[in-house]
Each structure stands twice: as C-alpha cells, then as structure tokens.
Amino acid sequence: MAMAAFRREGRRFAPLITPRPIAAVRSSPIPGEQALLGVRSISTQIVRNRMKSVKNIQKITKAMKMVAASKLRAVQTRAENSRGLWQPFTALLGDAPKIADWLKLLHSSLEDYFGQSTPIWALLGAGVDVKKNVIVTISSDKGLCGGINSTSVKISRALHKFTSGPEKETKYVILGEKAKAQLTRDSKKHIELCITELQKNPLNYTQVSVLADEILKNVEYDALRVVFNKFQSVVSFAPTTSTVLSPEILERESEAGGKVGDLDSYEIEGGETKAEVLQNLSEFQFSCVLFNGVLENACSEQGARMSAMDSSSRNAGEMLDRLTLTYNRTRQAAITTELTEIISGASALEG
C-alpha cells in the first residue's frame, strides 16, 4: 500500500521536476578544445596518467632505436662484404641485381614507363623469357620498421602480374613472417614455401646455403627472382631484384649465344661435363645471391627501424610538451578558482 501511494505521488510531481543531464567529463588533453555540456576543465589526474604513459613509450622507443643501431653496426660490414660473392657471376652468367622504380611501374604499363614495348624480363637481370618463375620474397619477421616489407610485397605482386600468363606459371617462396602475412591474404594458392624466424640468430653462409638447398629441392623453376631491399644508408634503401636461371636455361642460352656469357671460352677442369658445371654454378649463384639478399634486407630493416623509432621518440616528446602545458593550465585554473572562492567568501563575511 505504501509503495503504491509513493508511485501515485511521484506521478503527480513528475511534471514539476526539470530534467538535468549529467555532465560528461572528457579526458582529452588537447589545449583549447571546448568541453562538452558545461565542463570547464579536465582532471589533472587524467593528464598525469597520460603524461606517465607517454614518457614510458618514449623510453621504449629510445631503447629500441639504440638496439637497432647496435644490430645495424654488426650486420652492415657483413652485408658489404657479401656483395663480392655475386659479382663474379655478373660477367660469367650475365646477371646483376636490378634497381628500378617499381612503385611507379606498378601504376603504369610498360609502354608508358619506357616509352616503347619492352618485355618485362629485360628488367630482371638476365634478359631471358622463361615459363616457370619462382619469386623469392625476403622480408622481416618483426614490424616497426617503416615500409620495407610493404615495398617487397608490392614488387613481388608486380612481378607475379608481369610474369604470369596462359602458358606461364609463377609461384612464391616467402622468407619472413611479414611478407607471409600479406601475401597469404590474396595469393595463398600461389605460395609454394614459407620460411620464418630467419633473424632469430645471426646467419652465416652455411645456414643460408642450407635454406637455398631446401628451396631448390621443393620448387620447379626456370628462373628464380629474388626480391629484397638493398641497403644504401640508414635512411635509404632500394628495392632490388636479382635473377638466377636454372641449369637447363643457362645451357640453352649458352648454346644459342645468349646473354649469359660465353662459357665455352673457359677451360673446365676435373672431368666434369658442361651440364654438371652449370648445375653447380647455378646452385652456388643462388646461395650467394640469397645470402647477400638476406643481409642487405636485415641492414635495411634495422636502418628503417632506427628512423621509425627516432620519429616516434620525437613525436612522444612533442606530445609530452603539449600535455605538460595542458597540465599546468589546468592546475593553474583550479588554483585561480579556489582563490576566487576564498576572496569572495571573505568579502561576503566582511560585508
């Protein structure tokens, strides 16, 4: 009975009650931003917590930059020394790593890019058209290193587009977790082999040669297109493609007087046939190119990570400056409000 009477009384006085919305408190520390629903300032505790989190992030990015710089110094010398491994093959087999404006080529046709009808294999080291292409994409296992992995994936997709056809077959071999994650989304059926955690331990030539042997055992190819980022400086890297032809294609081009070099002008010792020599040369060339590509890409990764972490540290510092200014303004506004209330109360008592 009492509850029923209370509800009836509530209905009688309900129209007389003016609804007042509850003011929402915003935690945005942006100076000069208008607060909603009459809230004059934000809580200083919120700003202190935000400042603390930004300081912690800045410490992490600075530490990551120092770690990347240390790793870069360790691997840069090895990468520069490894460039001499593939250079003898340039004169013998007619291949050299190619650096081109691939990102521009992605958005235009070959005729627009070169001004004439140019076959795509003219860009890919040895100028030979083949039926079975295998694109070896080298990337990193970790992120926070700028756009080096996206660049390698874009070039690999462009190569797949230009080397595919009705009578051609193109497959992927992926080295690195980041390229695997991107290419799996739209090219899963074309992926032949994936190898990850390459940079978990420092690589030497023996380990890379084992990886190269594993790749050669699991794929059928006429040409291997190795895609990696060539290290130039801490803030610069160049997307690069290097081509390794199969022994059969090398022998065919040699007999036809192609661009792979005049192998008959060299004296073969040890009683091996020409086919056996070409087999050994092709496998050794691939292991050398792969070793150089892995080291070059590792250098580019650490250099890009240094740049990214340096930018992040600077951005955190700028954000910390803005937060400090906001905190000081908020604290000063609270102090001013309290002083005004004290003076007003004292004046009221005196009057």
Q: What is the mean pLDDT of residues 151-173?
A: 88
pLDDT digits (tens, 9 = 90+) for 235-279: 888 888 888 888 888 777 777 665 555 666 767 776 677 778 888
Task: Tell me the DSSP string of 116-144.
Answer: S---GGGGSSS----SEEEEEEE--SS--
The answer to whether 188 touches 151, Cβ cutoff 8 Å, is: no
Q: Please state, in angstroms and rounded to a whole number, the distance separating the CA atoms of residues 86 and 93.
A: 10
**Residue whose token pair is 């009492």:** 2
Strands 191-195 and 169-175 come out as: parallel
Helix 148-163 to helix 177-187 angle (10° resolution) is: 40
pLDDT of residue 26: 41
Q: What is the mean pLDDT of residues 324-340?
A: 90
Q: What is the mean pLDDT of residues 11-19?
A: 42
Segment among 204-213, 243-252, 305-314 with least mean pLDDT: 243-252
Is the predicted pLDDT of residue 164 greater than 50, yes or no?
Answer: yes
Is the predicted pLDDT of residue 125 greater than 50, yes or no?
Answer: no
pLDDT of residue 271: 65
- Of 293, 280, 204, the C-alpha closest to 243 is 293
pLDDT of residue 247: 85
Percent of residues, the chain, with pLDDT higher than 90: 35
pLDDT of residue 252: 78
The one-letter amino acid at 62? K
Q: How far is CA 224 from CA 160, 181, 282, in A?
A: 12, 21, 10
- Of 26, 32, 27, the C-alpha closest to 51 is 27
pLDDT of residue 180: 93
Q: What is the mean pLDDT of residues 115-136?
A: 60
Q: How far is CA 328 from CA 45, 250, 311, in A?
A: 12, 73, 26
Sign of the alpha-carbon dihedral angle for 197, 200, 204, 206 = negative
Q: Enter the pTM of the model.
A: 0.74
Given pLDDT bands bounded at 50, 70 and 90, which one contains residue 121? Answer: very low
- Of 192, 190, 193, the C-alpha closest to 163 is 190
Q: What is the mean pLDDT of residues 9-31?
A: 42
pLDDT of residue 281: 84
